[in-house]
Amino acid sequence: MQAKSGGTADASRDFASLLPIELTLTDCHGIEKVADLPRRLDDRGSPRACARTTGHIAQSRPSRDIAIVSSSVGLLRLGCFDGEMGTTGQSGAVPVRIERAE
């Protein structure tokens, strides 16, 4: 999976510093896939919420989880996917590699 930036500047840059990253996504209530980052991201000055949009990558605050596919209050948008997101529709745990799109 390739990710484009497009989130809050500090948090997006901090997330980009972790890329490429290999994670195992797990299903969360059938509406998103989640994974645990190795550390919390710098979210100073970030908005409290972001609009629900398929394809966004967001951090669940105050934890260090990231969510893929949807978002709501308490999520900080980090970026979005460029291209297919086929693995997010699979049930169960899904290993993924997220890297920066050029």
Percentage of the residues of the chain whose pLDDT score is greater than 90: 11
- Whole-number pLDDT of residue 24: 93
Say if pTM beats, i.e. exceeds, 0.75: no
Per-residue three-class SS string for the chain: CEEECCCCHHHHHHHHCCCCEEEEEEEECCCEEEEECCCCCCCCCCCCCCCCCCCEEEEECCCCEEEEECCCCCEEEEEEECCCCHHHHCCCCEEEEEEECC
Q: What is the pLDDT of residues 12-61, one digit of tens each?
A: 888 889 999 999 988 887 777 889 999 988 887 777 777 667 777 887 77
> How large is the average pLDDT for residues 82-97?
71
pLDDT of residue 4: 47
